[in-house]
Structures are given as C-alpha cells and as structure tokens.
Amino acid sequence: MMVVVVVVVVVVVIVVVVVVVVVVVVVVVSSKMRRSRTAAAVVVVVVIAVVVVVVVVVVVVAVVVVIVVVAVVVVVVIAVVIVVVAVVVVVVIEVTRI
C-alpha cells in the first residue's frame, strides 16, 4: 500500500509543477506579446493543450501502476491462502492417519 501512496504523491507533485510552469509561461508570454494578441493566444492554447496531455498521461500511468500493484497484492494473497490450505490439508491427513 505504500506504493499507492508514493504514486499519488508523485502525481500530485507533477501536476502542481506543471500548473506552476503553465502559469509562469502564460504570464511571461502575455507580458511579452502585448502587441500580438493572436500569437499570445496561440502560445497559451498550445501550452494548455500540452499541460492537459501531460496531466492525462501522468494520471493514466498512475492508475495503471496502482492497478498493477493491487493485482500483484491480490495474487500474492491468493497464493499464500492456497499454500496455507494445502499445508493444513496435508497436516490433517497425516494426523488422522496416525
């Protein structure tokens, strides 16, 4: 479960960093391109699109990692249960034989 917490923290940090970078870029671009509003608008739209793509990719990767971790934990738990049941059955058979 620590892996899930780490993944969530990493995703949050990445999203915050990306949002800060976008805000800085938008502010800088809009201040530099006061004359050409069309160019500033295009840059802002491109930056927002890139941010959306990055956030979506990060979230999808995080979800996949969480799903894989949960699946591995479930498989390990099932394997442990099967081994324990097998050992108990063998012990019961041996004890009742005596």
Q: How many domains in the chain? A: 1
Instruction: Please report whether residue 50 resides in a domain.
Output: yes
Instruction: Please report whether residue 4 resides in a domain.
Output: no
How confident is the model over 30-88, as pLDDT tens digits? 777 666 777 777 777 887 888 788 888 888 888 888 888 888 889 999 999 999 999 99
How confident is the model over 1-31, as pLDDT tens digits? 676 777 778 778 887 887 788 777 777 777 7
Check if the beta carbon of residue 57 is closer than 8 Å to that of residue 11.
no
Show the CA angle centred on residue 17, arms to residues 14 and 19, nearest 5°: 105
The rounded distance, in Å, linking the Cα atoms of 90 and 77 is: 20
Instruction: Please report whether residue 43 resides in a domain.
Output: yes
Instruction: Please report whether residue 9 resides in a domain.
Output: no
